[in-house]
Amino acid sequence: METVNKAKFLIVYDNNRFDDRLKVAWGFGCLVNVNGFNILFDTGGDTEILLYNMAKLNIDVKKIEVIALSHIHGDHAGGLMGVIRSDDHFKVYVPSSFLSGFKREIKSYGCEVIEVRDAIKIFDGVASTGELGIAIKEQSLLVNTSMGLVVVTGCSHPGIVRIIKKAKELTKMRIHLVMGGYHIETTSRDNITSIIHQFQDLGVKKVAPCHCSGDLVKRMFKQAFAEDFIEIGVGKTIEF
Ligand SMILES: [Zn+2]
Ligand SMILES: [Zn+2]
């Protein structure tokens, strides 16, 4: 996997507040800019909120080349159609298990649909893990930055540890940062501690949980990772 010289991750949709000018709503969306190439990973639940936040952040929708959806849930895929309705230049990467009606609708707006089953390169230094999971299939985004691999997750329904293991297996790289929704459903402190230990054993340097991660999970990761915990919410930028 090529290394990206410049990478910027900007949270454009999240239920955690960061930049007061922006609207906070349940869901997730992250704009990833690598060497000037723009990928919107997830679109939140509501097009109007997504477009409002992107306008406030001076993001030109026309300059987004690729939209990738982690999984079919409305809080990640709901904003898509309103964005592509008025513009047909997007390449849209979706897990191949998506309903055919959904894929047809994307194509009806003139956009290209790339159905992701196995891991796939999206751009130099940027790849998808491929769809993982059984009940709810999901893809995560991998970016090879100068600091190491950054893993961006939507909701982590296949399991956050499973996703990290897959990322390592695919890239054989050191994991610098895991950001996005961790969706750890357990409220048992022992279970969360065990997940934190697995992160550490897998060599994850920094963590930035948001969206569906939950307050207790965030608190415990913050305690365990100390200065390597990054507080994120809508409007937060992380640059390499
Ligand atoms: Zn979900
Ligand atoms: Zn979600």
Residues in the 5 Å CB sphere of ion ligand 1:
73, 155
The continuous run of DSSP H or E covering 179 comes out as strand 175-181
Only one residue has tokens 């969706």, namely 183
Distances (CA, A) of 165 to 133, 178, 194: 13, 12, 15
**Residues paired with 234 in a beta bridge:** 17
Task: Give the separation between CA 204 and CA 122, rounded to whole angstroms.
Answer: 23
Considering every ligand atom shown, identify the ligand nearest to the alpha carbon of residue 73 and give its number: 1
Q: Is the pTM of this model over 0.95?
A: yes
Per-residue pLDDT of the chain (240 residues), as tens digits, is 899 999 999 999 999 999 999 999 999 999 999 999 999 999 999 999 999 999 999 999 999 999 999 999 999 999 999 999 988 899 999 999 999 999 999 999 999 999 999 999 999 999 999 999 999 999 999 999 999 999 999 999 999 999 999 999 999 999 999 999 999 988 899 999 999 999 999 999 999 999 999 999 999 999 999 999 999 999 999 999
**Residues paired with 17 in a beta bridge:** 234
Report the separation in Å between the CA atom of 46 and the middle of ligand 2, taken as the mean of its atom positions.
Answer: 13
Burial class of residue 125 in the structure, from the number of CB atoms within 10 Å of its CB (0-12 exposed, 13-18 middle, 19+ buried)? buried
Report the separation in Å between the CA atom of 185 and the middle of ligand 2, taken as the mean of its atom positions.
Answer: 12
Q: Structural domain boundaries of the chain? A: 7-232
Burial class of residue 110 in the structure, from the number of CB atoms within 10 Å of its CB (0-12 exposed, 13-18 middle, 19+ buried)? exposed
Report the separation in Å between the CA atom of 94 and the middle of ligand 1, taken as the mean of its atom positions.
Answer: 14
β 37-41/141-145 pair status = unpaired
**For helices 160-171 and 189-201, angle between their N-to-C axes, nearest 10 degrees:** 10
Task: Give the separation between CA 38 and CA 59, rounded to whole angstroms.
Answer: 10
Q: Decide if domain 7-232 falls under CATH 3.60.15.10.
A: yes
Only one residue has tokens 């949980």, namely 209
Report the separation in Å between the CA atom of 5 and the middle of ligand 1, taken as the mean of its atom positions.
Answer: 31
Report the separation in Å between the CA atom of 239 and the middle of ligand 2, taken as the mean of its atom positions.
Answer: 24
CA-based nearest residue to 181, from 8, 16, 7: 16
Token pair for 228? 């390597």
